[in-house]
Amino acid sequence: MRLTSHGWIPVLVTGMTGAKKRTGQFGSFCMAYQNTSNQTLIDRRAFLTMAGATWAATLAPQAAFALSRTDAVYASAFMAPDGSYGVATLTEEGAIIERVPLPARAHGMTWSPVTNRAVAFARRPGTYAMIFAPDDSIEPIIITSVEGRHFYGHGCFSANGRLLYATENDFAGNRGMIGVYDGTNGFARIGEFPSYGIGPHDMTLSADGHMLVVANGGIETHPDFGRTKLNLDHMEPSLALIDTATGALIERHAMPDNLRQLSTRHVDIDADGKVWFACQYEGARNDLPPLAGSFARGEDIRFLELPEETALALANYVGAIAVNRRDGLVGLTSPKGGVEVTIDAKTGRVVSQESLADAAGIAASPHGFVSSSYSGSFGETKSRVAWDQHIIRIGKL
């Protein structure tokens, strides 16, 4: 499969179930709520054991800051030169303002503008998430995944900021789940519902706040096998729209049969409410599959057809995607290809393509995007950290 010209490819999607097949899941939501009692002490012990004395010792008292916390507009997880992990807030220019150490590697983050709470999720198959306020108005809160679940590294807040949703793995049942946490009650886990797929990864909230958009990567993993991908020969990637009120499936888009090894991993929403998704291809390395696309609710997915030069540069692997709603742009990064690509959301055409070795995260900036790298660059600034795969914007544009 070689794609050579610009523009859009409409794709007939066979796996879309549509609203007609909506099934209520509220029952399981309530059941899970009842099951979450009496485990605080166990989890606390488990967490402190995992975190270890070394991590606890790194917690330092508050001190004076060279930069005001109000300058913080981005946050990202990182690895320090000594191999320890943390999360940092940064200025518009990419200078680090504050850091907080973490017990293990984090991955994705999310932020609620309503409550000003940010969350860093452990990288799969991690078991913690840390909630903090970029202005330090609260002490950070650590939550741990319940028994039989681990985090996948992403999540998002409800529109009012009261609920936190996290993608999780029910590894015994080999099914993706969305854990629901109550931000008004110390982020207690109050329920869960299915992600309607295997291996949910990134997730975001629709513009109206009524739907969760989940990228089910389709790859089976189990903590007993570390990060090994267990089903590359029979993957089931899909994109699911889920009703936040009921946990019911609204619609699900499976990848076409010839792209079953195209793992749908990351999502964002544009100004028109359209969902943009980015993929990582597990098939033959000399295939040239589509790597990103978009769809509006009720429509089929449309893959972005990239010029061959761009498709090759992305190396069948998009690590992060971001939308700049104001500018109508979509940004993609590939650490494997060492490239950052900007797309016009309306036309699907490539606006820019720049080399960026070890390209990591990307997020909307006042003019286009800011991107980071494993080797420490963040915009024009270089720091002695390895930035993880994602950046979130925690300030308005």
Partner 1 sequence: MRHRHILLLGLSLFFLPLSAMAEDEEAAAPRAGLRVDAVPGVMQKAVDDFIRPGYRDLLEGTETLAEAAHTLCEKPSGETLGDVQMSFDEVVQQWSTIEIVRVGPVIEGNRFERFLFFPDRKSTGLKQVQRILATNDETATTAESLKGKSVAAQGLGALEYVLYGTGAEVLPTEKNGFRCRYGAAIADNLKAVAGELHAEWEKPDGIQSAWKNPGPDNPVYRDGKEAATELLGILVHGVESIRDQRLRPFYAGIIKGEPDKGHPKMAIYWRSGNTMPALSANFSALQALFNASGMDALLPDGNRDMISAINYLLQANVDDLDEIDLPLEEAIANDEQRGRLNRILQNTNNVLQRLNLDFGAAIGLSSGFSFADGD
What torsion, rounded to 10 degrees, do the Cα atoms 337, 322, 279, 148 define?
A: 120
Which residues lie closer than 8 Å to 242 by C-beta, 6 or more apart? Answer: 178, 193, 195, 196, 211, 212, 213, 214, 248, 249, 250
Residue (of 76, 10, 4) closest to 385 by Cα position: 76
- Dist. CA 368–CA 365, nearest whole Å: 5
294 or 372, CB closer to partner 1?
Answer: 372
Q: Annotate 340-375 with b (16+ C-beta within 10 A) or e (fewer).
A: bbbbebeebebbebeebebbbbbbbbeebbbbbbbe
Nearer to partner 1, 191 or 368 (CB): 191
Q: State which residue, 142 or 329, has the beta carbon closest to partner 1.
A: 142
Residue 42 DSSP SS3: helix
For residue 185, the minimal CB distance to partner 1 (Å) is 7
| Residue partners of 273: CB distance under 8 A and separation at least 6 | 206, 207, 208, 296, 297
Minimum distance from residue 20 beta carbon to partner 1 (Å)? 34
Q: Which is nearer to partner 1, 169 or 206 (CB)?
A: 169
DSSP 308-340: HHHHHHTTTB--EEEEETTTTEEEEEETTTTEE
User: Closest Cα partner for 173 from 202, 201, 198, 144?
Assistant: 198
The nearest distance, CB 366 to partner 1, in angstroms, is 20
Q: Provide the 10 A C-beta neighbour count for residue 7.
A: 11
* Least distance between partner 1 and beta carbon 210 (Å): 26
Q: Which is nearer to partner 1, 3 or 188 (CB)?
A: 188
CB of 42 to partner 1, least distance (A): 10
User: Rounded to a whole number, what is the largest CA-CA distance in the chain?
Assistant: 59
In whole angstroms, the minimum distance from the beta carbon of 69 to partner 1 comes to 8
Q: What is the DSSP string of 92-155?
A: TT--EEEEEEESS-EEEEEEETTTTEEEEEEPTT--EEEEE-TT--S--EEEEPPTTEEEEEEE
> Least Å distance between CB 260 and partner 1?
14
Residue 110 or residue 206: which is nearer to partner 1 going by CB?
110
* Least separation in angstroms between CB 107 and partner 1: 6
Count how many residues are written for the chain.
Answer: 397
> Minimum CB separation from partner 1 for residue 148, in Å?
11
DSSP 70: G
Which of 214, 249 has the CB closer to partner 1? 214
Cβ 330 to partner 1, closest distance in Å?
Answer: 20
Q: Which is nearer to partner 1, 186 or 298 (CB)?
A: 186
Q: Which is nearer to partner 1, 99 or 162 (CB)?
A: 99
**Which of residues 318 and 345 has its CB atom nearest to partner 1 in the complex?**
318
